[in-house]
Structure 1
Amino acid sequence: MPLLAILLVAAAPGQDVVQLTSKTQLKELCEALRAQPSETDLDPAQIAEARKAAQARREEAAGRWYRVEVPSKGFAFGRYRAQDQQLELDGDRPLRAIDDTLSLDLDGIDDVSFAAGSEQVTAWTQEKKAKALKLVLVWKPSGARCAGSAAAEAWRIAGHARSWELLGAQGTLASANEEGDPVGAGPRQMRVEKVTLDSDDAPLENEGRSRLASSQAALDRCAAGAVRTGRLVMSFSVHDGRVREPQVIMDSLRDEKIAGCVARAISGTELAGTGHGTASLTVQ
């Protein structure tokens, strides 16, 4: 029985992830993804049966999740967003694994980022240079079938991942979920960056941040449910000394639930002044 088939059977009872570690497995996976009837001297009934068997083989291989370790040289870091404390993956090139024989084109790699402070980024970069850092993926084939050849020992597969994990000498360093958002970064907090009113006749010393101090606890509760970091800009009006009709005018979080929570949190907040105002807030 082929090695990959043995692993598929072994994975079936208690787990749904196949460990993909060798060229032999990779070759068998590509053969399964490209499976076609091999016999030529068949009658119509046998051809139909052979096609059915080949389709079943393709679907079984494509329906599995595979775990692959990408070595330090097989991936690259992208931009570091200091304000969000997130390090992105470089999605401009495919990931390379299994002795440089597998190229992975994964959907959404441009959106993958890991929670990291600047000191962590420096440490990870050093580990990567020392070839002690790995990117561990759980992914599934998608789209076009496997390209490449056994003769050249080079294969290319498109797919999408359900988890991303940075693994160092001391274990797991950071993770990202199926959407590419950091996980395990601890509870988020909401920082009020600036609050201004049309009636302000001069810049305030603390940029008006204290104007929403009474709403800070409610804002932090909103931030605790955020999947990603980002920025919100809210417009509002002031009537009878209170914030009214808050509306989102910019949302880099792309999360209507969080935006709605923030609007409710600041609505009714006591605020001296009149007219319209703007509040800039950051989830961190």
Structure 2
Amino acid sequence: MAASRALYPATPRSSWLGRAKHVTFDGPAKWQVIVGVPTSVFVDLSRARPAGENRPPSRLRVEVLDGYSAKAGSPEPLVVWSVERSVSNDSDSLEVPVGPLAVAGDLHIAVYLDGQAVRDSPQPLHVTPAPPSAAHSELIGGPTGSRVVAVAGAPAVFFVLLRDGCGNRCVGGLRAHLQQHYAAALHLMRSMAAGPPPPPQDDHAGIHGSGAVHFSRRLAGEYEAVVHMNGQRLMPPLLVEVRAAAAHAPNCHCEGASLDEAVAGREMRFNLVAFDRYGASDCPPAL
């Protein structure tokens, strides 16, 4: 019986090869991790002490993984951040700083002890974008996002896309936009109106809390849309092309020599010069 007690001590210890499965960790709670702000993970090693006394220190590695590749079970998921620490054999717990992270979204956090994944690793990690940055936000409009095409006299719109300082799209929707102060204007660069320059227009545009900039211009031409957010200009500016409206009969006229003199039996030609109701000549004739 004495030999039996020596072989099976009263307080069992985990074997060296199976230590990782006895290690647990607590990751950050949802909505608690923000881009650019460090956080931490707590690792419990109390149930995973090595059986021998002369073992070398272990290596603990913490990785933040791309959420899609980790969820899909990729053999080599994309690692967006990692750190490795030495762990002494008598350590019961360890707090490992994580970050600051530059990637927002649904990621995963994984912990490894001597190359083996610990229990319940990886775990989901939700990273929230940082507050909007005017230096990284942008103006978008149209299919390509770099140009807006409108028709003279008709309402049109382009949008403010909020990004944080690392380029992540900001969340919060309407609330995120309502927390910003905007000022928007459209500056005429080239007019397509015939004759003398028209009287100056009100170049301001109305921007709604959703980040949509609504505008309408009667004068066809090329404009530069400029938006300031919290006093800082969003770059680059957005090019807005306002095309002429449909031809307006009272503003159209005909020209050509055949209008003054014609010969019976011979085909004569003249040109119809079409203008829209706002004076732009580059418009489709309404015949």
**TM over 0.5, shorter chain:** no
TM-score w.r.t. length of structure 2: 0.27
Decide which structure has greater helix share: 1
TM-score w.r.t. length of structure 1: 0.28
The structure with the largest alpha-carbon Rg is 2
